Amino acid sequence: MSEKLSTKPYKGTRDFYPDEMRQRTKVFSSLEKTVRSFGFEKIDAPIVEPIEIYLAKTSEEIVNQQIYSFIDRGERRVAIRPEMTPTVARMFSGKARELPRPVRWFSIPNLWRYEQPGKGRLREHWQLNCDILGAPDEFLADAEIIMLAVEILKSLGATQSQFIVKLSHREILNSFFEKRLGLAKENWPTIARILDKKEKISGEEFSSFLSAAGIDAVGQEQILNFLTGGLQWLRENPEIDGAGYLLELMALLEKSGYSEHLAYDPGVVRGFDYYTGIVFEVFDTSGENRRSLFGGGRYDKLVSAFIKEEINAVGFGMGDVTLFDFLQTHQILPGPQRELQVFVASFPTPEDQVNSFRLAREIRNLGIPAEMGLGPAKLGKQLAEAAGKKISFAIIQGLEEKDRGVVQIKNLETGEQVEIPEEEIVEQVKAMAGDRYDTQK
Ligand code: HAM
């Protein structure tokens, strides 16, 4: 006997059977609704791109260790997209002259990174991307993108205390390295990576990493003050680039009612090389899920990798894996219930079958999804199978009932069954379904 093939999906990826797919669709539809309410329009693009679009400005870690790339049959080196931002910049650049600005675009691509799978981290994930390009005033675009991030979580049922947006500005860190620590530019990434690790390592480890990178005790104290001093530190150090901008942005967001969702955190480093202005990450505050729910920032130089013009741009990506963990932890993940469905039983004779098809078509035309029995099985078996598929109601009409213009309608959850005139199917289903019908419309 030959050995059977594995039924498992590839490491770090997921199959979506109907129950999981239904939940995913519900969550994604809710995201889309919120994003569209801000005027964003949906885009999509190929999953494969020329590798060059990632080499310049995506993070070193992604390009060197995580990218899925291959040589195609025409000797081109291509990559399966590990992120959407270079594609967004490429697409904008391709039509830069004709697109009315600002552009507000969103997409929900599947992205591939060769990661060690773990909690909140897989090799394939779906990521909601929202980006604004070419805004007349980048300050307002920054404010809007953060408001959108907050509204997305609120529309999924999250409350204020369950998440926090941690915000900083690329220039603040760079300027601190240069003006306070007097570090040469080539050392900035090493120190930034150590700061990025701070929450995950002990105080002693943090100090020994910094010493090894050449930061003396005075420098280390300055780093601690910088990391823990909050907005007060920024106010006291106005000559630090980006400090004034960030303070102003925080003030606008506060006046607009978003302050409780926000915290300035100079430790938000973000690994991508293309960020030039604000950078932010959104975290679950429960302590259950340590990975960020969103990551984003301003990237004003990425479009100029494609065209001469420099275009300001800001956006974020929110992954489905971390989002679902978050929704589950806070018990706001929508259930896997099916859309309201009617089952139409079938009968053995051809005349009956024509009638069942007609009935199912008419019910669908009335706006109610209807699934038809496809087998010669006994009625009881058909109904048991329909109940097993979580269908709410069965409509039964043999030719004798057809002649009388009536149907039997059976609630498959309660077993209740009544005979009604055929033209009352919709009303009866609505009445029997109660609230559920309204909420699912
Ligand atoms: P990122 O920080 O790499 O940013 O990813 C954003 C989010 O995608 C993360 O917060 C996380 O929810 C999810 N994510 C990333 N990698 C994985 C993974 N291996 N498994 C599961 N989830 C993951 C970017 O990708 C930027 N391009 C976002 C952006 C858009 N910046 C501007 N516009």
Residue-wise pLDDT for 300-313, tens only, equals 999 999 999 999 99
Domain's final residue, options 287, 302, 329: 329
Q: How far does the centroid of ligand 1 lie from the alpha carbon of residue 15, in Å?
A: 20
Q: Tell me, yes or no, whether 322 and 355 share the same domain.
A: no
Tell whether 293 and 149 lie within a shared domain: yes
| Domain region containing 177 | 18-329
**360 shares its domain with 236:** no
Alpha carbon nearest to ligand 1 atom 13, residue: 319
For residue 16, report the distance from its CA to the centre of ligand 1, in Å.
Answer: 21
User: Do 182 and 211 lie in a common domain?
Assistant: yes
- Whether 2 is in a domain gets the answer no
Residues 265 and 350 in one domain: no
Domain count within the chain: 2
Residues 26 and 59 in one domain: yes
Q: Are 309 and 96 in contact (CB under 8 A)?
A: yes
Q: Do residues 423 and 320 both lie within one domain?
A: no
Burial 185-215 (b: 16+ CB within 10 A, else e): eeebeebbebbeebeeeeeeebbebbeeeeb
Query: Does 300 share its domain with 372?
Result: no
Confidence of residue 396 (pLDDT cuts 50, 70, 90): very high
- Ligand 1 pocket mutation pick from 11, 125, 165, 301 by most atoms within 8 angstroms of CB: 125
Question: Per mean pLDDT, which of 309-313, 336-340, 411-415, 436-440 is the most reliable?
Answer: 309-313
The structure's pTM equals: 0.93
- Name the amino acid, one letter, at 98: E
3 belongs to a structural domain: no
- pLDDT-derived band at 441 (thresholds 50, 70, 90) equals very low
Mutate to test the pocket of ligand 1, among 91, 127, 153, 321 (most ligand atoms within 8 A of CB): 127
Last residue of one domain, picked from the residues 329, 364, 399? 329
CA-nearest residue for atom 30, ligand 1, is 316
Angle, to 10 degrees, between the axis of helix 138-155 and the axis of helix 18-37? Answer: 140
Residue 437's pLDDT is what? 53
- pLDDT band of 426, cuts 50, 70, 90: confident
For ligand 1, the distance from its centroid to the CA atom of residue 63, given in whole angstroms, is 14
Q: Is 56 inside any structural domain?
A: yes
CA of 319 to the centre of ligand 1 (A): 6
Cβ-count burial 16-30 (b if 16+ within 10 Å, e if not): eeeeeebbbebbeee
Ligand 1: residue whose CA is nearest its atom 10? 294
Q: Is 9 contained in some domain? A: no
Examine residue 6 and state whether it is found in any structural domain, yes or no. Answer: no
Distance (Å) from CA 317 to ligand 1 centroid: 5
**314 CA: nearest ligand 1 atom:** 32
Residues 35 and 133 in one domain: yes
CATH at 262: 3.30.930.10
The residue out of 307, 329, 351 marking a domain boundary is 329
Q: Locate the DSSP E strands across 277-416.
A: 278-284, 294-298, 313-319, 342-344, 370-372, 393-396, 406-411
Of 261, 135, 268, 138, nearest to 198 by C-alpha is 268
Domain shared by 272 and 375, yes or no = no
CB 165 within 8 A of CB 318: no
End-to-end CA distance of the chain: 51
The closest of 29, 83, 24, 57 to 170, measured between CA atoms, is 57
Question: Does residue 440 fall inside a structural domain?
Answer: no
Domain annotation covers residue 4: no
User: What is the mean pLDDT of the segment spanning 230-238?
Assistant: 95
Q: Whose C-alpha lies nearest to ligand 1, atom 18?
A: 121
Place of tokens 């900035």: 188
User: For a pLDDT cut of 90, what percent of the chain falls above it?
Assistant: 83
Q: What is the pLDDT of residues 321-336, one digit of tens each?
A: 999 999 999 999 998 7
User: What is the pLDDT confidence band of residue 431, given thresholds at 50, 70 and 90?
Assistant: confident
**Tally of CB atoms within 10 A around 218:** 9
Q: Are residues 367 and 223 in the same domain?
A: no
Residue 90 lies in a domain: yes
Q: Which residues line ligand 1 (CB under 6 A)?
A: 83, 85, 113, 115, 121-122, 125, 127, 129, 131, 292-297, 315-319, 321-322
Residue nearest to atom 24 of ligand 1 (CA): 317
CATH number at residue 421: 3.40.50.800
Please indicate, yes or no, whether residues 66 and 195 belong to a single structural domain of this protein: yes
